[in-house]
Amino acid sequence: MSKKTDIQETAQNRNLPEYIDRSREQQWLKEHSQEFAGEWVALDGGHLICHGANAREVYEGARKSSVKRPLVVEVEKDSGLPSGGW
């Protein structure tokens, strides 16, 4: 069995929401984050649905696009400084 199938089966057995593979959205964010830094984006797979400065407007735009379960996230601004922890 594949890992995805195992996750789906476990989710069904526990009455959890359906597993959604977001790897294509993650790849899109990795490749395009500098273009949309500081904005909200709505993605479906590797496709940009809409973007903007207002989260509610982007979410509403994504809902109107008829995409069933888009990923809506804020793209962080790159401060240019390395980050570190304690």
**At 67, is the secondary structure helix, strand, or coil?**
coil
Closest by Cα among 69, 38, 68 to 55: 38
- Is 7 inside any structural domain? no
Please, what is the average pLDDT of the chain? Answer: 86
Domain count, the chain: 1
pLDDT band at 50 (very low <50, low <70, confident <90, very high): very high
- Is 66 inside any structural domain? yes
Give the C-alpha separation, 48 to 35, whole Å: 12
Give the C-alpha separation, 26 to 23, whole Å: 5
Name the pTM for this structure: 0.73
Residue 25's domain spans which residues? 20-74
Q: Is the pLDDT of residue 43 over 90?
A: yes
Q: What is the DSSP letter of 34?
A: T
- Is 2 inside any structural domain? no
Give the C-alpha separation, 9 to 31, whole Å: 32
